[in-house]
Amino acid sequence: TLKRRVVAHLLRNQLREPLQKLLFHIGEVGDFLGQNVFVVGGFVRDLLLRQENFDIDVVVEGDGIGFAEEFGRRHGCRVRAHRKFATAVLVFPDGFKIDVASARTEYYLEPGALPTVETASIKLDLYRRDFTINTLAIAMNRAHFGELLDYFGGQSDLREKAIRVLHNLSFVEDPTRMFRAIRFEQRLAFQLGRHTEHLLKSAVRMGFLEKVSGPRVFNEMLLILREPDPLPAIARLDELGLLAYIHPRMSCRSEINRLLAAAKRTVDWYELLYTGEGCQRWQVFFLCLFSGLDESEVNQVLRHLGMPPRYAEFFGPERETVHRIVHQLEWRCSQRRNLSNSEVYRMLRELPIEALLYGMARTEHEEARRLMSHFVTHLRSVVSLIGGRDLQSMGLKPGPCYGEILNKLVAARLDGLVSTREDELRLVRRLLAG
């Protein structure tokens, strides 16, 4: 096992100083309360992989909430306790958060159900986890600081780049782990162990996912689609029969695969241009996955996954709107008449950025794609120089005509008919006179 010296070295060299101090303080509070405290899970995994991770999970042998309260008192953190789970969140004044849990063991009374919980040793706490690479822990108490706990072969699996479950019933107890397995496999460029892959396939075959609620599956999909490059994971979900669980006809066969690749390029392009104003990448990818399904099949999925109403609206009716608008744009482009900026603007302005990016990925019409891209880069943010207040001071009564006039001003600006404030005021006067 990794020497304490080596881990201490990693802690010193991989982490910034404030984070190192924080770990010492965690140990200090543990010493003060006479509790063993550990940092566990993803943070340790990523430390050993030399990857940055700021999600600190602390496990306390004993009362985790008591630990959080003492730590909070000393370091000015707010404590949000969840008594039912014996866990707490420490919230620092700058918003930084740490999860604290009481070491516990869990029994699953039936597959897919939520577990029954009891306090336990750190070893049992680690045993209930999903994959061996997530079972590593580092001691924080002064006398043991930097000791690595590796009960289940986590280090050797990190070296072998293998995702392995701890026992044969892992996927049965918590079928969402199938999605997690693929997420880690693709994110870390690891591979499912042979036995683990076999267990996963039989869990799929035996339909254990049916026992998981739709929203939990949706949440796992969200986590996968939010990874920097979700495409290989999507292909793997398909290969292992997990996409089919979302809908029997959902798949990433050749043409959807092409669409996903185009979406990835488009989303990357957009984020490179607009580093500040991000987009919900996952929505673009989800639209691609839906594109092989018809309206009623999509609605089935939305109901099944229990999507929150705003998403259901986006993937349902709005998706139909995008298809219609892209189709219109393609048709008008094929008429070989040049569209003015304001015409393009009028067609596309209702669409959220995610829908536009999806539209760009989807169209095979070169000119339509160019216009959408022009809209995103140049037209979308155009506004008039004068506003409602100016109209008011021109003696115009507030009402729906404000919107109409302002729209006309934007259209004139898009088409290069006005440039200064004076131009705009002149145009308003002309509109009012006419």
CB of 165 or CB of 371, closer to ligand CTP: 165
Closest distance of CB 221 from ligand CTP, Å: 14
Q: Which of 29, 36, 109 lies closest to 75, judged by CA? A: 29
- Least distance from C-beta 166 to ligand CTP, angstroms? 9
CB of 71 to ligand CTP, least distance (A): 20
Dist CA 292 CA 309 (whole Å): 22
What would the two tokens of residue 173 be?
A: 């107890």
Q: Give me the least distance between CB of 4 and ligand CTP, in Å please.
A: 22
Distance CA 398, CA 389 (A): 9
The reply to whether 164 sits near ligand CTP by the rule CB under 6 A is: no
Position 55 contacts ligand CTP (CB under 6 A): yes
Burial of residue 195 (CB within 10 Å: 0-12, 13-18, 19+) is exposed
Q: Whose Cβ is closer to ligand CTP: residue 166's or residue 256's? A: 166
Residue 80 or residue 421: which is nearer to ligand CTP going by CB?
80
Concatenate the DSSP letters of all residues of 57-124 into one string.
Answer: EEEEES-HHHHHHHHHHHHT-EEEEEGGGTEEEEE-TTS-EEEEEE-EEEE-SSTTSPPEEEE--HHH
Judged by CB under 6 A, does residue 173 bind ligand CTP?
no
Q: Which is nearer to ligand CTP, 154 or 359 (CB)?
A: 154
CB of 133 to ligand CTP, least distance (A): 8
Q: How many beta carbons lie within 10 A of that of residue 283, not counting itself?
A: 21
Q: 57 or 150, CB closer to ligand CTP?
A: 57
Q: 398: which DSSP letter?
A: P
Asked if 41 interacts with ligand CTP (CB under 6 A), we say yes
What is the separation, in whole angstroms, between the first and last Cα of the chain?
A: 85
Question: Which of 61, 69, 150, 174 touches ligand CTP (CB under 6 A)?
Answer: 174
Q: Compute the C-alpha angle 327/329/331, nearest 5°.
A: 70
Report which residue's Cβ sits closest to ligand CTP. Answer: 42
Q: How far is the CB of 111 from ligand CTP (least distance, A)?
A: 13
The reply on whether position 42 binds ligand CTP by CB under 6 A is yes
User: Of 132 and 283, which CB lies nearer to ligand CTP in the complex structure?
Assistant: 132
Alpha-carbon distance of 268 to 276, in angstroms, equals 13
Q: Which is nearer to ligand CTP, 1 or 51 (CB)?
A: 51
Closest approach, Cβ 269 to ligand CTP, in A, equals 26
Q: What is the closest distance, in whole angstroms, from the C-beta atom of residue 368 to ligand CTP in the complex?
A: 38
Stretch (H or E) spanning 295 = helix 295-305
User: Closest CB to ligand CTP among 152 and 286?
Assistant: 152
Torsion region of 60: left, alpha or beta (phi above 0 gives left; psi -120 to 50 gives alpha): beta
| Cα separations in angstroms, 212 against 303, 362, 405 | 14, 32, 53
> What is the C-alpha to C-alpha distance for residues 289 and 219, in angstroms, rounded to an integer?
16
If the CB atoms of residues 60 and 409 are measured against ligand CTP, the closer one turns out to be 60
Binding test (CB under 6 A) with ligand CTP, winner from 35, 139, 147, 177 = 177
Min dist CB 381 to ligand CTP, Å, is 34
Least spacing, CB of residue 225 vs ligand CTP, in Å:
13
Query: Of 112-120, 129-137, 234-242, 324-332, which part binds ligand CTP (CB under 6 A)?
Result: 129-137
For position 130 contacting ligand CTP by CB under 6 A, the verdict is yes
Question: Could you tell me which stretch among 142-150, 174-182, 399-407, 408-416 binds ligand CTP (CB under 6 A)?
Answer: 174-182
Residues 6+ apart with CB under 8 A from 253: 292
CB of 134 or CB of 186, closer to ligand CTP: 134
CB of 211 to ligand CTP, least distance (A): 14
Q: Which of 35, 36, 176, 283 binds ligand CTP (CB under 6 A)?
A: 176
The only residue of 22, 36, 64, 129 in contact with ligand CTP, by rule CB under 6 A:
129
- From residue 56, give the alpha-carbon distance in Å to each of 41, 52, 417: 9, 11, 57
The distance from CA 215 to its chain's CA centroid, rounded to whole angstroms, is 14
Query: In whole angstroms, what is the distance from residue 243 CA to residue 232 CA?
Result: 13
Binding-site ranges for ligand CTP (CB under 6 A)? 41-42, 55, 57, 129-130, 134, 174, 176-177, 180
